[in-house]
Amino acid sequence: MTVTIAFRVALHLVTRRRLENRWRSVAILLSCAYAMLLALGSLSVYLLLEREQARVDDRWPILASPDEPTRLLVVERDDDWDGDQFPVFWIEPVTGVVPVLPPGLPRMLEPGEAAVSPRLDELTRKHLDLAARYPDRIVVGNEGLQNPDELIAYYRPVEGRSLGESPFIIRVAAFGQGPAEQRGPPLSQQNPPNGTAVALGLLALAVVPGMVLLACGLAALSSARQHRFQVLQWLGGPASMLAAVSVFEVLILAVPSAVIMGAAWYAVSGQLEAIPFLGRPVLRGDLQPSIWACLVATGGFTLVAVLLAAAEGVLAPFRRSSQARPGLRPMVVSRLRLALLTLPWLLLVFGARLGGYRGALALMSGLILIPPATVSAVPHAVRAFGRLLRASSAPALLIAGRRMDWDPFGSGRPFLGVTALAVLLIGTTGYIRIVSWGDPPRSNPDATSYATIGWLNPAPGDIERLRNALGSDTVVVGLARSQQGDVTIYGSCPALARVIRQLPCNVADPFELSPVARALLPKIVPPQVPIRLGGEGAAPPSGALVISGESQDSLQQRSRTAAMTNLPAPTVQNPAGFGLRASPLVRWLTLGIAAGASALVLGTVLLAVNGVMEWRHYLRPLIIMGIRRGQLQRLQVSLFALPFAVHAGLGLAIGLPACWFIVSRDGAPMPWSHIGLIATAFAVIGAVGSALLYYFAPALQLRDQRE
């Protein structure tokens, strides 16, 4: 009988057409739908990374053993295009056995042929210089890709050349997820994100803000609902009945919303070929969770909504009336609040000092706990600021200060999301700084451009092949290193002087290298390593020095093209190194910040609108007393702007030391420019909100009074 009554009351609350009831229904539907979308999106991202990791694991080379003969020779080298460095795996079949192929290769490559990833193939079609590096190529299949955005290539030496014997060669018997002790180095562009770190990041940046949004939606109050709860309490209704009414009300709205969102995401995610708003390509189907996963996510989400609704209903009888002063009750929660405030800072200090993976994990855990810890402390700041305003002579400031002092929870409830968002943005900005910060490569534009080339299995005529490929304007000389570490450059001083300006040479001895000339040579070895010039010896050189008067980038690209199309498994090095590129983690953090920020902003909007709805009742006595429109405008702006400033200011103030702990881990500078943009954004939001209230809220209040 109690259940039936509770269901009928809840159904009546949902279907009633009063403005307050409609607003609560809309708030619950919006918060449930968006929170469910964040939960499903987080699940899809986690499944995406797991599926990509599985394909990377399938590329693990299983080393040859006495029981498993060598079926393929593999050695890893690298290539570079437009600042993106990516691996090139040189492969060679073993005579007399059937070769084993890496995943994604439909057949064994012909001599001089390459297999490239789809993105690399697309780049070669757009850039002729890169296409010359892979003139004869096929495309790697999807089963051999971590993701469609991956840059990777397989190359077989040209006809008549082999990888030879080298300790760097991997002797492969098979590919796949074999025993760990038999695995070789992974054939991967980069290590995929760690599953634990990804789960914590999703929890901090998407799931927790989604739950905050859900709580904000469930906190939307209506006068009819409060009136019925009071009637049930006066009639002696137990707390279980109030909880049942709240649960049924939420179930009527949340279950259809969650089911529709789950079905829609299941249908849409299976067709996605890129992550929404991030633009990062994915294989079709990688983002789609299974039906069972969607059902479990829907059930778990509904359970969380039910628990929040039941807690709200159970606590309703214990709420103090509007005549009693709402207290902070520090003696009841002091220990819990102390632990919540202390633990995040301990984790941040531990993470900053420890370093490594465990340090990063501690930093991420501290970043997760900082927002709720700050939210738990903000009522004290609101009350303290309200006491300061009570000394003001302005009526609007005085009333706002008395309300903040009297009820710090109620006056600041709409802005709890602002506090959490400010801390989250500042802290995550620091995390982005440490994963993207580094010393940029330095180069002297006036210095002579050069590159060094090394390759496997040197053969006579290799230097001449490089000279023919690079042209007469480029000086190519052989390099050899003795067992004692001395370096011999197989070239004369006049030959080097063609491209090295002001290089002094001895006409009588073209192979003499004076200290002044040594200082002008490219810095291919440390100064303490002896260098001498000499004629080409009987043994082929193990490397080459390429010198030119062109730009360093141009020489780098031309040297790579010449080496890869003529030599087996070459390595090209240049003094400038590789261009500084932001870590891929930055894009993931940016997506997480956008998801979490959107949830917190929506939750703040819901609570702010709910506050305006509640002000209709709180300000009614003042309107009856004849308050003028201008006074009402100033009062509502004060009731909005002052708590907003306290919440945003405290969030930014707490976020600054959290950001400092994070960036100090790697010695990176504070991202003051980004922090300034965040603070400016909050100031603009506060100004826009105040302006909207100034012009529109009084009309709603006065119209409601006339009605």
Average pLDDT per block of 10 residues along the chain, 707 residues long: 68 69 80 88 87 88 86 92 87 90 93 94 92 93 90 92 89 86 78 64 75 76 59 65 75 86 91 83 90 89 81 56 48 59 80 72 76 80 85 82 80 76 82 63 61 90 90 87 82 86 85 85 80 73 86 88 92 65 62 77 75 64 68 78 88 87 78 88 85 67 50
If 0-12 CB within 10 Å is exposed, 13-18 middle and 19+ buried, where does residue 241 land? buried
What pLDDT, on the 0 to 100 scale, is given for residue 568?
93
- Residue 458 phi/psi, 5-degree rounding, is -60, 150
Pick from 74, 112, 77, 106: nearest CA to 93: 74
Contacts of 362 (CB under 8 A, 6+ apart): 347, 348, 350, 351, 354
Cα radius of gyration rounded to whole Å, the chain: 34
Which are the contacts of 607, defined by CB distance < 8 A and separation ≥ 6? 216, 219, 220, 413, 414, 415, 416, 417
Half-sphere exposure of 385 (CA within 13 A, CB side): 22
Distance CA 61, CA 102 (A): 8
Phi, psi for 222 (deg, rounded to 5): -135, 145
CA–CA distance, 463 with 544 (Å, rounded to integer) = 7
CA distance 42 to 500: 57
d(C-alpha 145, C-alpha 140), whole Å: 7
Helices (H), 171-290: 195-202, 208-218, 223-234, 239-269
Task: Provide the token pair at 281.
Answer: 């390509």
Q: Are 123 and 88 in contact (CB under 8 A)?
A: no
CB 108, CB 93: distance < 8 Å:
yes
CA-CA distance, 108 to 154, in Å (whole number)? 10
Query: Can you give the pLDDT at residue 447?
Result: 60
Contact (Cβ atoms closer than 8 angstroms) between residue 691 and residue 641: no
pLDDT at site 460: 87
Structure tokens at 433: 């700084």
DSSP assignment of 147-192 equals -TT---EEE-PPTT----S-TT-EEEEEESS--GGGB-S---SSPP
Instruction: Tell me the whole-structure pTM to 2 decimals.
Output: 0.74
d(CA 159, CA 137): 15
With beta carbons less than 8 A apart as the criterion, state whether 447 and 523 touch: no
Q: What is the pLDDT of residue 323?
A: 44
325 burial via Cβ count (<10 Å: 0-12, 13-18, 19+): exposed
Give residue 578's pLDDT.
47
Sign of CA dihedral 120, 124, 130, 131: positive
CA 48 vs. chain centroid, Å, equals 14
Q: Take residue 526 and report the two structure tokens written for it.
A: 């440390």
